[in-house]
């Protein structure tokens, strides 16, 4: 069993996953545009393969600088306000509901409600663009905005 798992891992670890595109154009809320270059798949040697949404890069920063701003654990600036973070959490719950057993419809409703309070127009726009009766996979576009603003999956 171990050798089989190891063999599968070796195959998957050498696979190159096509890059994904996050929000584009000048963001009205200071969000950055994530790199669209290829990203090497990591840490999915055994489970069902999916295309990564988050394409973050660790950033070295001075934790003791007096002007230090909020960041995520890999040092990327955290650009979501509290309402935006809540909306992104609802988006993640909705997107992953097929594998976690979550209630997609309920999470989408909560997502549409939560996003009204954020100052991030790009996040609001992404949620507004979701079709009525959106499928879980449709929420990927919202999570792309979220991860571009420091949210980690």
Partner 1 sequence: MSRPLGRVAVAVAALAVAGLSAAAPTASAAPASAAAAAPQRAATVGVDQPAVDLSTLNMVPTAMGGVLTPDPARTQTSSIASSVWSIRQAGTKIFVGGMFLDVKADAASSAVRQPFLAAFDLTTGAWDSSCRPALDNAVYALAVSPTGSLLVGGEFTTVNGVARPGLVALDPATCAVDPTFPDTVERPYSNQRAAVRDLVVADGKLYLAGNFSRVSGPNSTHTGVFKVARVDATTGKLDTTFKPEVTGSGVWGIAVDVPRNRVHLGGWFSGVAAASGTSNYAVVDGTTGALVTGLTARPRNNTARMEVYDVELGTADRVYVGGSEHILQMLDAATGDQLAFSHTGYNGCEATRFTWCNYIGAGGDFQVAERIGKYVFGGCHCNDDYVGTSPTHYSSVTRTFTKHKHLMAYEAGTETLVDSFRPDVDGAVEGAWAVGSDTNGCLYVGGDYTKGGAAAGRSMWVSGIAKLCPKAAPKPAGDTTAPTAPKNVEAVDLGGGVLQVQWTDSTDAVGVDHYRVAVTGGASVDAAAGPAKVTGVPAGSATVTVTALDAAGNISAGAAVSIATGRTGGDTASPTAPTGLAVSAAAGGAALTWTPSTDAVGVKSYLVYRDGTYVGWSATPAWTDSAAPAGTELTYTVRATDAAGNRSVKSAAATVTLK
Residues that bind partner 1 (CB under 8 A): 1-2, 5-6, 8-10, 13, 17, 39-50, 52-56, 58-64, 66, 68-75, 78, 80, 82, 85-86, 88-90, 92-93, 96-97, 99-103, 110, 114, 143, 147, 150-153
Query: Hey, CA dihedral for 60, 66, 71, 72, is it positive or negative?
Result: positive
Sole residue written with tokens 């909306």: 87
Is residue 31 within 8 Å of 145, Cβ to Cβ?
yes
Are 94 and 103 a contacting pair, CB within 8 Å? no
| Closer of 26 and 116 to partner 1 (Cβ) | 116
Taking the complex as a whole, the smallest distance from the CB of residue 133 to partner 1 amounts, in Å, to 20
Round to whole Å and give the CA distance between 30 and 145. Answer: 12
**Shortest Å distance, C-beta 131 to partner 1:** 22
Tokens 């955290």 sit on residue: 78
User: In terms of CB distance, is 89 or 135 closer to partner 1?
Assistant: 89
CB of 128 to partner 1, least distance (A): 19
Whole-number minimum distance, CB 22 to partner 1, in Å? 12
What value does the CA radius of gyration of the chain take, rounded to a whole number of Å?
A: 17
**In the bound complex, what is the minimum distance in angstroms from residue 119's beta carbon to partner 1?**
15
Start-to-end CA span in the chain (Å): 29
CA 38 to chain centre: 16
Nearer to partner 1, 82 or 105 (CB): 82
Do residues 51 and 17 lie in contact, with contact meaning Cβ atoms separated by under 8 Å? yes
Task: Give 26 or 37: the residue with its C-beta nearer to partner 1.
Answer: 37
CB of 2 or CB of 132, closer to partner 1:
2
């Amino acid at each position: 069993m171990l050798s089989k798992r190891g063999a599968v891992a070796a195959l998957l670890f050498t696979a190159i996953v096509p890059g994904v595109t996050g929000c584009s154009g000048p963001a009205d809320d200071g969000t950055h545009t994530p790199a669209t270059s290829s990203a090497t798949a990591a840490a999915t040697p055994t489970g069902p393969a999916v295309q990564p949404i988050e394409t973050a890069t660790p950033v070295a920063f001075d934790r003791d600088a007096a002007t230090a701003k909020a960041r995520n654990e890999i040092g990327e600036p955290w650009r979501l306000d509290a309402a935006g973070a809540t909306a992104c959490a609802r988006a993640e719950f909705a997107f992953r509901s097929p594998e976690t057993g979550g209630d997609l419809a309920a999470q989408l409703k909560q997502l549409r409600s939560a996003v009204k309070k954020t100052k991030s127009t790009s996040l609001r726009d992404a949620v507004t663009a979701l079709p009525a009766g959106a499928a879980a996979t449709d929420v990927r576009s919202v999570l792309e905005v979220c991860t571009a603003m420091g949210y980690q999956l």
